[in-house]
């Protein structure tokens, strides 16, 4: 199921506001999975629900209880990109990829990201580790924790060895 299809297949009951999760049914591998629901997104969904009161699908089309069209969703994304003056090519799948990369950079364990994305193999999720260099840049070298005195003593020790003392 494509990224946009997942969004368009959501039903109002798939939003669990008490546990702050979204239930994604029969997605990758025909399995159900859950993903975290941001409080900010929940607030937006509540406003949306109050305005449109969807019945069958969370995001309905023009006709009652019809599913919102994937092409229309792509057009909404394109309009948002235009408004934001983003000229890079962006797709709905790219947003999924960005979400996973941000989770990784925020320190989320790769196993949780694998579960959220619905990957059956950790190898598929590991591609995000190659994309994110921010994590590598934030790794603190154990050498930074060495006391200068220890390093100074080590150099003195090696100096004495090379002099034959």
Q: Which residues of 80-106 are buried (b: 16+ CB within 10 A; e: fewer)?
A: eeeeeeeeeeeebeeebeebbbebbee
pTM of the model: 0.71
pLDDT greater than 60 at residue 157: no
Residue ranges of domains in the chain:
1-88
Quickly state the pLDDT bin for 30 (edges 50, 70, 90): confident
Q: Does position 17 have pLDDT exceeding 60, yes or no?
A: yes
Q: How many CB atoms lie within 10 A of CB 74?
A: 13
Q: Is the pLDDT of residue 93 over 90?
A: no
- Measure the CA angle with vertex 21, ends 18 and 25; round to 5°: 125
Q: What is the mean pLDDT of residues 56-82?
A: 90
More confidently predicted of 30 and 89: 89
Which CATH number applies to 1-88? 1.10.443.10
Closest C-alpha to 104, from 114, 94, 119: 114
């Amino acid at each position: 199921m494509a990224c946009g299809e997942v969004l368009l297949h959501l039903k109002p009951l798939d939003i669990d506001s008490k546990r702050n999760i979204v239930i994604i049914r029969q997605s990758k591998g025909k399995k159900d999975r859950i993903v975290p629901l941001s409080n900010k997104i929940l607030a937006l969904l509540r406003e949306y629900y109050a305005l449109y009161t969807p019945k069958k699908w969370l995001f309905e089309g023009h006709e009652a209880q019809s599913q919102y069209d994937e092409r229309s969703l792509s057009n909404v994304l394109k309009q948002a990109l235009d408004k934001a003056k983003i000229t890079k090519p962006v797709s709905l799948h790219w947003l999924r990829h960005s979400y996973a990369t941000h989770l990784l950079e925020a320190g989320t364990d790769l196993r949780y990201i694998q579960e959220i994305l619905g990957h059956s193999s950790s190898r598929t999720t590991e591609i995000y580790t190659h994309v994110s260099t921010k994590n590598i840049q934030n790794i603190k070298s154990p050498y930074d924790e060495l006391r200068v005195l220890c390093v100074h003593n080590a150099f003195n020790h090696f100096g004495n060895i090379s002099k034959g003392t």
